A and B are shown apart, each in its own frame.
Chain A
Amino acid sequence: MILTLNVDGETPLYQQLRDRIVEAIAEGRLRTGDSLPTTRQLAADLGINMHTVNKAYDLLRQEGLVRLGRRTGAVVIRDADGGPPAAGVTEDWEARTRTLLAEAAAKGLSQEQIRQRVQAILERFPAASPDRPITESRS
């Protein structure tokens, strides 16, 4: 899996790293049981501070997406097939989505445009389509 971080963007690197990994899980590129490199290894490969990777991994751990081991790095412990979301996840996500959708509406996107774009994004997540392929190749 290729991880690409925008170094001169406004989003902090740890946030980008966390976001890319969440997206990879949603898209089926990472599945339950898959490992991620150790903190040190990933930081060395990206040429960034270890604390940045630590922070991203810790966010993912708090969200219940990965388990951290001293030697094993991070292991994905839940994906789209992992059953219903934990308590509070839906409410929390809805609150943040409301803000995002509000931004779009306030800045002039029509409801139809918003719906189309959201639909297009959802179609990239195999879990969201009823004809989800059984085996997804990992890159």
Chain B
Amino acid sequence: MITSILISLFPVLLIGALQWLTPSLVPATTPFGVRIPGDRADTPVIAAQRRRYRLGTAIVTAAAAAGVILAAGHPASGAVAGGAEVVAGVGLYRLARGRIIAVKRSEDWFGGHRQVVAADTSLRTDPERYPTSWAVPLVLLLAGTVVAGVVEYPRMPARLATHFGQGGHADHYAAKSIGSVFGPVLTQALVTALLLVLPQVALRGRALLDAESSCATVRHRRFVSATARALLVLAVCVNVTFLFAALVTWGLITVSGSVLVAASVAPVLVGTAVVLAVALRTGQGGSRLRLGTPTGAGGGDRVVNRDDDHLYRWGLIYYNPDDPALFVPKRFGVGWTVNMARPLAWVLLAATVAAVALGPLLGSYAR
């Protein structure tokens, strides 16, 4: 029971921690998704809303965790509590955002400023290179899994353990066949392909360039380069888990229950920790990187980033039919999101929903 409580608590605490951290990870010119001139970043209302939001997320997280413990780690408790946290988090975000927008409007923060958009053509004519050497271990692991499956196929038992219950005891079996042996490998290949593409999104997506900063391009380059590598590290970790799971399923190695749980969870935890550590270090768009003293563009009327709040529906969803970009920087978080005005964004959304919905369904068939 303790194990199941811990497993359900993990996502609840992770979501809570991410919500608590997010205000510190976004650029100072977009607190709670509100575009502000750089010289207003220290306005008291922003610090006050940040405190309120954090207090709110702490209370919600504590309540969600208590709920999981009271439910004694019921299998659905983690998902329900996590979902409630996300909904409450959106509410707290919208509250903080509303207060800041109200002050911004009443005090006319953008008055007397020249609003600009900036792009650096060198990011396209001399782009950051895909870290190919970091992808090599990934391809080797995948190839190793396939080779192990092919070579050891004759030696595999006639009945494969396809699912392990609590304590690591096999509770579902499937007859040995090409499908049951290589089905999981196909999943591994698809997940690997997806993780190989993600760094490309990081490298090709719109840059978050602060028109008020002189080192915006350096920030962006370091951010995408670190993010691309972290994603490939995560991909390697996920592949290690897949390989391990395959070897156990194929009866090529036998391990005790606790080792089974630890060895399959640990790599994914390590990979996630690496991605989180990089996000914490760089911040969204590299906004947390320390790059000497920033120098403003200066001039009589100050140059500021365009007030683009209206392009984010409910402060959450980017919708701009004029913008041909598909991947744009997240407003409140680290990474990229999609421009929902592009038809391809809906295709991606549908594919994600389908994958999430069909994944467990296919899994249950495989048993």
Q: Do A and B come from one complex?
A: yes
Closest B residue to A43 using CB positions: B324
- Would you call B217 and A46 a contact (CB within 8 A)? no
Complex alpha-carbon distance, A139 and B215, angstroms: 12
A42 touching B119 in the complex, CB below 8 Å, given contacts A4-B211, A47-B325: yes
- Would you call B324 and A44 a contact (CB within 8 A)? yes
Q: Let me know if A81 is at the binding interface, CB within 8 A.
A: no
Residues of B within 8 A of A36 (CB): 121, 125
The stretch among B110-118, B247-255, B280-288 that forms the contact with chain A is B110-118
Residues of A within 8 A of B207 (CB): 45
Complex alpha-carbon distance, A48 and B119, angstroms: 11
A34 touching B125 in the complex, CB below 8 Å, given contacts A43-B324, A47-B206, A47-B320: yes
Residues of A within 8 A of B120 (CB): 1-3, 45
Q: Which of B151-210 contact A (CB under 8 A)?
A: 206-207, 209
Q: Let me know if B133 is at the binding interface, CB within 8 A.
A: no
Give the one of B125, B216, B326 with max A CB within 10 A. B125
Closest A residue to B327 using CB positions: A44
Residues of A within 8 A of B323 (CB): 43-44, 47-49
A46 touching B125 in the complex, CB below 8 Å, given contacts A6-B114, A7-B306: no
Complex alpha-carbon distance, A93 and B268, angstroms: 64
Residues of B within 8 A of A6 (CB): 114-116
Closest A residue to B303 using CB positions: A4
- Would you call B115 and A45 a contact (CB within 8 A)? no
Q: Let me know if B101 is at the binding interface, CB within 8 A.
A: no
Closest B residue to A52 using CB positions: B322
Residues of A within 8 A of B324 (CB): 40, 43-44, 49-50
Q: Let me know if A12 is at the binding interface, CB within 8 A.
A: no
Nearest CB of chain A from residue B112's CB, rounded to whole Å: 12
The prevalent SS among residues of A at the interface is mixed
Residues of A within 8 A of B322 (CB): 47-49
Give chain A's interface residue range (CB within 8 Å of chain B): 20 to 34
- Would you call B124 and A42 a contact (CB within 8 A)? yes
0/1 string, A1-26, CB within 8 A of B gives 1: 11111111100000000000000000
Complex alpha-carbon distance, A21 and B262, angstroms: 58
- Would you call A42 and B121 a contact (CB within 8 A)? yes
Sample of 17 further A-B pairs with CB below 8 A, known A2-B118, A46-B118: A1-B122, A2-B121, A2-B209, A2-B216, A4-B118, A6-B116, A7-B116, A7-B306, A36-B121, A38-B124, A42-B119, A45-B120, A45-B123, A45-B124, A47-B320, A49-B322, A50-B324
> Which residues of B does A touch, CB under 8 Å?
114-125, 206-207, 209, 211, 216-217, 303, 306, 308, 311, 320, 322-326, 328
> Which residues of A does B touch, CB under 8 Å?
1-9, 34-38, 40-50, 138-139
* 6 cross-chain pairs, A with B, having the tightest CB-CB distances, nearest first: A44-B325, A45-B119, A37-B124, A49-B322, A47-B323, A4-B118
Some 18 contacts from A to B, beta carbons below 8 A apart, are A1-B121, A2-B119, A3-B118, A3-B120, A3-B121, A4-B116, A4-B211, A9-B114, A37-B121, A37-B124, A37-B125, A45-B124, A45-B207, A46-B118, A47-B320, A47-B325, A48-B117, A139-B122
